[in-house]
Structure 1
Amino acid sequence: MGSTWLYTERQLMQLVVENESRDVWKLYLGKGLAGDTRKFDDAFHYANSMEEKSLIREQQADFHFSRGEYSKAAKLYARTDGLRFEAVANKFLEGAGEDLREALEVFLEEKLRQLTNPSE
């Protein structure tokens, strides 16, 4: 916790800063979504809860999916807790193309790996 003193001709004020890093992950997530993909890792590092971390993975997966990086998106979707399995699978099935089918296989393999090795 830090504080700064401000003064004017009429007043003296103390500005107290508490829990300054609480939402810093949101700033890094925004930078990641703007194109600096290294910032996704920073956002994940500063996230305080599993819900925040899951949201970061979901947003990162959506980002890569929108750029046509389907395999990378599939791996991230597989590690996201907040999305339903069927919704993600349908996302890959709705599009046409071999790369989407391959990414669906990556997603399914990652999910299966999680079921057989839950500690990973």
Structure 2
Amino acid sequence: LTPGVGARTVESLAMVAEVVHGTPYRFRDPARFSLAHGGKDRHPFPVPIKVYDETIGVLKSAVQQAKLGRDEEMQALKRLDDQARRLELTATGPSFDAFVANERARSPSLDGRSVFGWEADLSGCDIPKRQ
């Protein structure tokens, strides 16, 4: 219900909430967290700047509000982490390759960017993909 925060941003926030409220066993595979915002080298996909900016905005607001003694935003992140953990037990989704292919396809619409430049400007360029 927050303007500008869509499904993709909520997905990233759930991954960030996992870092904020996670327990040690969940950090065995640090590469999983690159799925929240991609990588500047385009691996596993370019950084979706719109999602990245919204995630930072939500977290900044939560931290600022927490400093003022209002912990609703931090509790919301905690609830988001709890829900993500519950869903993880039974939910199914695309394979890793399908997830990355979808993120790459959506990248230009999310202002995807890497060290190679903006994704919208790179269409048709032959950028090497990691195997």
Shorter-chain TM-score bucket reads under 0.3
More strand by share: 1
Higher RCO structure, 1 or 2 (CA under 8 Å, sep 6+): 2
Q: Which has the larger radius of gyration?
A: 1
**TM-score where L is the length of structure 1:** 0.26
**TM-score where L is the length of structure 2:** 0.24
